[in-house]
Structure 1
Amino acid sequence: MKFYTKTLLILLLLTGAAHTLHAQSTVVKGTVTDAKTKEPLSFVTIGFAGSTQGAATDVNGRYTLKTNDKFDQIRITYLGYKTVLKNIEAGKEQEINIALVPDSRQLGDVVVKSAKKKKYTNKGNPAVELIRQVIAHKEQNQVQNYNYAEYKQYERMVFSLSNLSEKFTQKKIFKNYQFMFRQQDSTAIGGKTLLPLYMEEKLSQNYYRKVPYTQKQVIEANKQVKYDENFVDNQGLTTYFNRMYQDINIYDNNVSLLSNQLLSPIADHSPEFYKFFITDTIKDAQPKLIELSFTPRNTVTKLFEGRIYITMDGNYAVQNAVLTVNKNIDLNFVRQMEATLSFEKNDDGRYHLSQSDLKIEFGLNKNKGGGVFGERLVKINNFLINSPRPKTIYDGPAQVIANNADQRDDSYWIKSRPDTLDAIVASVYKNVDSLQTIPSFKRTMDIATLFLAGYKNFGPFEMGPVNTFYSFNPVEGFRARLGGRTTTALSKRYYFETYGAYGTKDQKFKYFLSSTYSLNNKSIYSFPQSYIRASFQHDTKVPGQELEFVQESNFLLSFKRGANDQWLYNDIFKLDYVHEFQSHFSYALGFKTWNQSPAGALQFQNLLPNGLLNNVNLIKTTELSLQLRYAPKEKFYQGKLYRTPIPDKYPVYTLRYTQGVKGLIGGNYNYQNVVGNISKRFYLSQLGFTDVSTEGGYLFGKVPFPLLDIHRANQSYAFQFQSFNLMNFQEFVSDHYASITVDHNFNGFLFNRVPLLKKLKLREVVNFKSLWGAVRSENNPTNDASLLRFPTNSLGQATTYSLSNGPYMEGSVGVGNIFKVLRVDLVRRFSYLDNPNAPKMGIRTFVKFDF
């Protein structure tokens, strides 16, 4: 009996103890959201106040805290938001949802009180000592430090018209579409009223391997707002937006932002450019965090300002960061910018980027009026380290798109998104489709296309470009031209283009016809291209004028300096096959017959055996060609006429081989010509960037001067990067040559130290070009009377030369960013100054929109 009594007492005691332990256990769970947007906040730090016990919210903003200790408060801290304390009941399970309010504090609020204001210095500054520790630990905190890594990534990009007035929203065009407008807190970036017009989402699986280096992205799903391709290059639009809103790696020395590079606050030499302040210590976070605020030493320099949170666990890693820019910074059209970065702890105790949110608002006026607001959100989860995959996973191109990536339905996206879209954003795809059916919207797009691209759309056919309809020159006099081309509304496989022109002075008709067949059932203007094209052109040409992104009939090119009366009449038949690959390698095969006749003051003359001059009226050639081009990671926007490149640090390689065949369809000459070109942009951090282009060519065979390399000259008043701006047309020819062009933009590095120039936000530029070349004796008409003589002017003076007295050189200094769009260069020619009509100096202008 005693045994059973004792057993019963023990059981009762154990039950009571268990009940007591259960009663003392505190469980707090809930969701953390943004008080204004109502969106869940990921990786918010939540801990029991006064302790090191804590946790972080997941990608859906959910959290759970458990403890057997007795606490009566929890503390919620998150970068960019006000810290919150919430009372809890110890020993109970409870749900507490928290809405965090953004913290509008600016670095200007940091006040250091002292009897005497101390000059900021790095020496003995604990904030600088801390940032030096962060710099020293950068390598170990980089993802690239792992042998293998993989993760799931979600990206969302949304662009909206911003800061819209009530008058704008009440316009007739939006009468039945008020549901398209998105309302937000008036203090948020973009203002109170937004009109979302573009959205793109992407889900991908990403793989990294250290040796051999591989970074591969497999896009599993992709969804994008689609505009009528007759108005907008949707693929190019995506490329352009992604270039503007690149990934921000704070551990890199330089961070790319809007085609600029800004020095990271934790760059190797950041203490020389930034001021650092310890502004808070968060002791109840796990691990303990130090809030480090920073600001540029010069507020107009292209640098960030903001704050970073450093882990005090020996890693000295960045756990969170808020990067903004000063309103005085020399970034064109940028009203506000904010990048919020969050990092999550790995199993090995180090950190990886878990979320990036980049917001930028643009506007012609920095202080008022409508603008454009863009946001790119990136969320990373399922981060796995040092788990190698089979070799086949890493092989192949850097980006792979699943076959059905763009065919995922709404249910897939609802299930796969790591967060929930608000109603307005979720309906952007459908709203834009509806918007494009409104007649007034179509008219607006039609007018914009005519103004910006120069084409008027008539459905299956578009007329243009408008700026070529009228021009003038010394040979043709007033030149009228009318043309156009078919669109995808007629066919996606067949394209036709034509124009007709007439000169009032020479009273001759000119024309062009082309027919193109797409081999991949895509628009021939879409990447990657694959097509066959046949064309015939009967028109004029200026020898030595090679233009990029401009048609020769452009009205503005009618205005030229100096003599411009040596022209050609050309009959050119071409058959081209072009094939591009996703890797941005391409090749082109060409067949060309070319008949050249002199026009204007140009004459083709040689000496007969009896010593008399002989006029040659026609040069006939037949050519076969192969061009190879490789532009790794190239980005561009496909316009109506040309691809507009988006400059980046990656080089572009081009190699072209041309074979002239004598006797083939009337060709008169055998020759081979090889030309190679390499172009690259070099970013130099605070010193700006440098564009370098090198080219070399060699022509084998005996040919008359019109078939030599006629070096690219420019007699217009526009600054041309690929031409020599103080060289006259047809002034120099070579059968072997090498050239280099260097164009450096200091991005205001020097001007920002001059008060007036600093206020005007002007940018200094320098340019240098040099050309080495020669004509072998077999191609020099002074050694062979049967060759065509180099041209002369009306006074009998030679106007075409070989580079026999050293290189041709010219350089310029200029001022850019005038009115945010204009660059003006003072160009100086350094050699061959004794050539007739050789200009010594000149002013050249260039229009370009830069950020």
Structure 2
Amino acid sequence: MNRQHPISFYIFLLFILNFVWVGGAFAQKTIVSGTVRDAVTKETLPYVSIFFTGTKIGTQTDADGKYTISAPDAQTTLSFNYVGYTQVVRNLVSSATQQIDILLKPDSKALDDVVIVAGKRVRYRNKDNPAVELIRQVIAHKDDNRIKSYNKVSYRQYEKMLFSMSNVSEKFKNKKIFRNYQFLFQEQDSTLIGGKNLLPVYIQERLADSYFSQSPEQNKTVVVAEKQVNFDAKYIDNKGLKSYFSRMYQDIDIYKNNISVISNEFLSPIADGAPTFYKFFITDTLKNQTPEVIELSFTPRNTTDMLFEGRLYVTNDGHYAVTGASLGVNKNINLNFVRAMKIDLDFEKNSQGKYSLSKSNLLADFGLNKNKGLGFTGERTVTFKDYKFDAAVPDTVFQGKSLVVLADADKRDDLYWKNNRLDSISTNQLKIYHNIDTLQNLPSFKRTMKIVTLLFAGYQNLGPYEIGPVNTFYSFNNVEGLRLRLGGRTTPELSKRFYFENYAAYGIKDEKWKFFLSGTYSINNKSIYEFPQNYVRASFQRDTKIPGQELQFVQEDNFLLSFKRGVNDMLLYNDFYRLDYVKEFENHFSYAMGFKKWSQTPAGGLFYQNDNNDFINRVSTSELSLQLRYAPNEKFYQGKIYRVPIPDRYPVFTFRYTAGLKGLFGGEYNYHNLMGSIDKRFYLSQLGYSDVTVEGGYIAGKVPFPLLDIHRANQTYAYQLNSYNLMNFLEFVSDHYVSINIDHNFNGFFFNKIPLLKKLKLREAVSFKALYGGLRDENNPGMSTGLYKFPVYENGANRTYALGNEPYMEGSVGVGNIFKLLRVDLVKRFNYLNHPEVSEWGIRARVKFDF
């Protein structure tokens, strides 16, 4: 599984963040900080509301009464508001940075309606704390108040997702580079996070009917209408972009123990273990409401952990239902590129006398710089209406997939949307649909996107043909020496049915040409890179390969993988004749059938030698294969080369069967090769998440070692998640094996508690890999005749082994989030250390971009 963000997603970000580096230096800021105290008791006041007068730019004091507020331009006055206290307005001086401490006086009139819990400051503790007792009552009544307390529920929901450039200044707008894009800068909006000027660049809407049944527990969503901005498919996968945003901005359920936001798991303030991680304060009691509502403020015990801060509103009627919530994050949180985040949840009393979610709003402001410069803001608003509880929902509604999109959902006209939206939408937000269409037709924009795609996706689009990938044009190894390659593939502009791909490569040292040619026919008349795939492909490839090097999301002749440790002189010259058929279904089950004729010739330090000491120049096999794959609820981004999964909690099941057929087109061996694997991510709340892969394989039949399972090794300096990073190429072979691979990321849980480290916002990771297997006597050249001898070094030492009675094991400890994009692991190999040319320790690095 790939745990990084898709390359094409970066291209979308670059479309926005191209502007960040150019315009950030022109903003003039006002920064004010200080402490707010009670004028009588001199005790600090938590959660005081602070605003620049006449703007929407605001903040709150923290649990210690401290605050910092900033604006992108000069401000004149600052107001302080706290329920039960008289408002204070303070004039600001002309300096950009200043400190203002405030004393608030109690307001006797306001105290008639609200009781403020205050007094002498004491050390916070859970025992005998009325706020903690209250939150425990909320936790105890969760099951009674959530939507799953009903037998059946149906409702309609409207979703709007908007992404905007933020902090746009007049100087920035008037730069020469935007001379052709002035239409984008109309009617900016300054009412969201921080009051920054916002310029919408992406919008999507969805109207759906949702159904829930408790026994058995089932969910069904029927999308009746949807629309979104569509970028040019040559540069951006629109469906993948939509899936990626949906993964970042998921539904917010305050009653769940963990809430997924921006691809991270946050502990809910009413999770079962919330009092262990949060501090709670009763700040208001709103007695003028029926039932009486208590305002409960909360803050993380450790401000760098993946926790919220904010306020809950809870009924004081014995039901302890949540009637509203305002959630944010602390400025010190270990969350990359997030300047601010705000979640507002509104609940309404329903016909059953309980409270149901009526509106959810999530805003997050991103930027390369935490405090200044351009960035972008993402907002998702979901409105819920027409609740029906314990209604007669037919069981047939839940049949089939849990998410169904009506065939005409994307064909609704403007009048339909105007009459059916459950929430308002501004005029300038609607303009984004037209603006992006206009933008993409500008020649200057097309040139820019071609350059960006070439640099980050590796392909140069020439209309019906595109050249790439660029990172394979030059590489080197011990056998071929300098390797030069050039190739490309056709695009849907040439044909939506027929696709061709080719490349040619030449090794300066071995003076051999390598090449590849394939032709693909799309059965469903869709792009062969678009889900669901359904195509037939015929191909021929003559090229080199390192035995035991298996790469998932990168080309083998990638320039960066040319740098390898140790002795790396074993290579295969391969001829592959292939015929493949691939069929995918909407439920993410797929199967692939294929025929492969494979001729392999050893090269460099690799020799095939039989037990008569004769050297074998070529091994030929003919194979039929079947692969089954099931990935329920899978979301992915379709890049130029690979389909990149978007990590989630759902498992992926894979099964592959390969049959070698002796006598068919020159095949020399009969055998059966079976492999199965399960991949799954486990979320462990505040302890981070684990990616786990369990795999097993079995080969039936007598075959030489080149046809055995050659276990995935890595002799590069890059940390590879699915390979054994201290195993040498072709070091271990098996005809039966099981393996487990665990990679756990703590998301800074421990580093956040260490004073000198938490400011760096580093994240710790550990991994463990174990491989248990072996060879039956019939496939062991030391026990059986008619097989090839295992490879040896020049000095006669063995290079290839069968696993013994103990599994091969290695583990690592890593530090991630270095400069927000680098992970470095110290890797240890635990056993089989007596093999030549192996290391017990190693340092490996990988690029890993995370929020």
Give TM-score scaled by structure 2 length.
0.86
Query: Partners of 2:207 and 2:740 in 1: how far apart?
Result: 43
Secondary structure of 1:666's aligned partner: coil
8 A Cα contact 1:80 1:103, kept in partner: no
Q: 1:399 aligns with which of 391, 398, 403?
A: 403
How far off is 1:81 after superposition? 9.6
Query: Partners of 1:596 and 1:761 in 2: how far apart?
Result: 49
In the alignment, does 2:841 pair up with 1:837?
A: no
In the alignment, does 2:179 pair up with 1:175?
A: yes
In the alignment, does 2:769 pair up with 1:769?
A: yes
How far off is 1:397 after superposition? 0.4
The residue type equivalent to 1:723 in the other structure is: S
Distance 1:314 1:116, change over 3 A: closer
Q: 2:366 aligns with which of 362, 369, 391?
A: 362
Percent identity among equivalent residues? 62
How far off is 1:474 after superposition? 0.4
Distance 1:247 1:760, change over 3 A: same
The equivalent of 1:760 in structure 2 is 760
Which residues of 2 match residues 280-291 of structure 1 at below 5 A? 280-291=284-295
Which residues of 2 match residues 113-128 of structure 1 at below 5 A? 117-128=121-132
How far off is 1:390 after superposition? 2.1
The equivalent of 2:664 in structure 1 is 664
The equivalent of 1:563 in structure 2 is 567
8 A Cα contact 2:157 2:384, kept in partner: yes
Secondary structure of 2:614's aligned partner: strand
The equivalent of 2:334 in structure 1 is 330
Secondary structure of 1:728's aligned partner: coil
Q: 1:467 aligns with which of 468, 471, 475?
A: 471
8 A Cα contact 1:162 1:190, kept in partner: no
The equivalent of 1:828 in structure 2 is 828
How far off is 1:557 after superposition? 0.5
The equivalent of 1:643 in structure 2 is 643
Query: Partners of 1:817 and 1:615 in 2: how far apart?
Result: 50
How far off is 1:420 after superposition? 2.7
8 A Cα contact 2:56 2:191, kept in partner: no
How far off is 1:105 after superposition? 3.5
Which residues of 2 match residues 108-147 of structure 1 at below 5 A? 108=63, 117-147=121-151
Cα displacement string for residues 57-109 of structure 1 (whole angstroms, at most 9, x for unaligned residues): xxxxxxxxxxxxxxxxxxxxxx99999xxxxxxxxxxxxxxx99797444458
Q: 2:243 aligns with which of 236, 239, 242?
A: 239
The equivalent of 1:578 in structure 2 is 582
The residue type equivalent to 1:774 in the other structure is: G
Which residues of 2 match residues 142-541 of structure 1 at below 5 A? 142-172=146-176, 174-175=178-179, 177-181=181-185, 188-189=192-193, 191-541=195-545
Query: Partners of 2:352 and 2:197 in 1: how far apart?
Result: 45
How far off is 1:588 after superposition? 0.9
Distance 1:82 1:478, change over 3 A: closer
Secondary structure of 2:135's aligned partner: helix
The residue type equivalent to 2:303 in the other structure is: T
Query: Partners of 1:176 and 1:510 in 2: how far apart?
Result: 46
The residue type equivalent to 1:559 in the other structure is: F
Distance 1:826 1:371, change over 3 A: same
The residue type equivalent to 1:520 in the other structure is: N
How far off is 1:583 after superposition? 1.2
The residue type equivalent to 1:804 in the other structure is: G
Distance 1:787 1:838, change over 3 A: same
Secondary structure of 1:462's aligned partner: strand
Distance 1:723 1:157, change over 3 A: same
The equivalent of 1:850 in structure 2 is 850
Secondary structure of 1:427's aligned partner: helix
How far off is 1:178 after superposition? 3.1
How far off is 1:448 after superposition? 1.0
- Higher normalized contact order (CA 8 Å, seq sep 6+, divided by chain length): 2
The equivalent of 2:741 in structure 1 is 741
CA-based RMSD: 2.0
8 A Cα contact 1:208 1:214, kept in partner: yes
8 A Cα contact 2:383 2:423, kept in partner: no
8 A Cα contact 2:699 2:736, kept in partner: yes
8 A Cα contact 1:494 1:517, kept in partner: yes
Secondary structure of 2:665's aligned partner: helix
Query: Partners of 1:153 and 1:831 in 2: how far apart?
Result: 57
Query: Partners of 1:167 and 1:461 in 2: how far apart?
Result: 40
The residue type equivalent to 2:842 in the other structure is: G
How far off is 1:438 after superposition? 0.8
The residue type equivalent to 1:137 in the other structure is: H
The residue type equivalent to 1:741 in the other structure is: N
Distance 1:101 1:538, change over 3 A: closer
Secondary structure of 2:641's aligned partner: coil
Query: Partners of 1:185 and 1:490 in 2: how far apart?
Result: 42
Distance 1:445 1:764, change over 3 A: same
8 A Cα contact 1:598 1:617, kept in partner: yes
Query: Partners of 1:214 and 1:769 in 2: how far apart?
Result: 37
Cα displacement string for residues 106-155 of structure 1 (whole angstroms, at most 9, x for unaligned residues): 44586999885310111121111111110010011111121101110101
Cα displacement string for residues 785-812 of structure 1 (whole angstroms, at most 9, x for unaligned residues): 3211111111111100000241101111
The residue type equivalent to 2:710 in the other structure is: I
The residue type equivalent to 1:710 in the other structure is: I
8 A Cα contact 2:158 2:423, kept in partner: no
Distance 1:455 1:100, change over 3 A: closer
Query: Partners of 2:199 and 2:177 in 1: how far apart?
Result: 13
The residue type equivalent to 1:225 in the other structure is: V
8 A Cα contact 1:163 1:190, kept in partner: no
Which residues of 2 match residues 548-697 of structure 1 at below 5 A? 548-608=552-612, 613-697=613-697
Query: Partners of 1:174 and 1:204 in 2: how far apart?
Result: 38
The equivalent of 1:11 in structure 2 is none
The equivalent of 1:732 in structure 2 is 732
Q: Which has the larger radius of gyration?
A: 1
Gaps of 5+ in 1: 1-78, 84-98
Query: Partners of 1:787 and 1:693 in 2: how far apart?
Result: 32
Distance 1:535 1:828, change over 3 A: same
How far off is 1:437 after superposition? 0.7
The residue type equivalent to 2:752 in the other structure is: N
Distance 1:170 1:191, change over 3 A: farther
The residue type equivalent to 1:526 in the other structure is: E
Cα displacement string for residues 333-375 of structure 1 (whole angstroms, at most 9, x for unaligned residues): 1011001111122211112211110000111111111111110
- Number of aligned residue pairs: give it: 754
Query: Partners of 1:284 and 1:113 in 2: how far apart?
Result: 17
Query: Partners of 1:145 and 1:102 in 2: how far apart?
Result: 39
The residue type equivalent to 1:463 in the other structure is: I
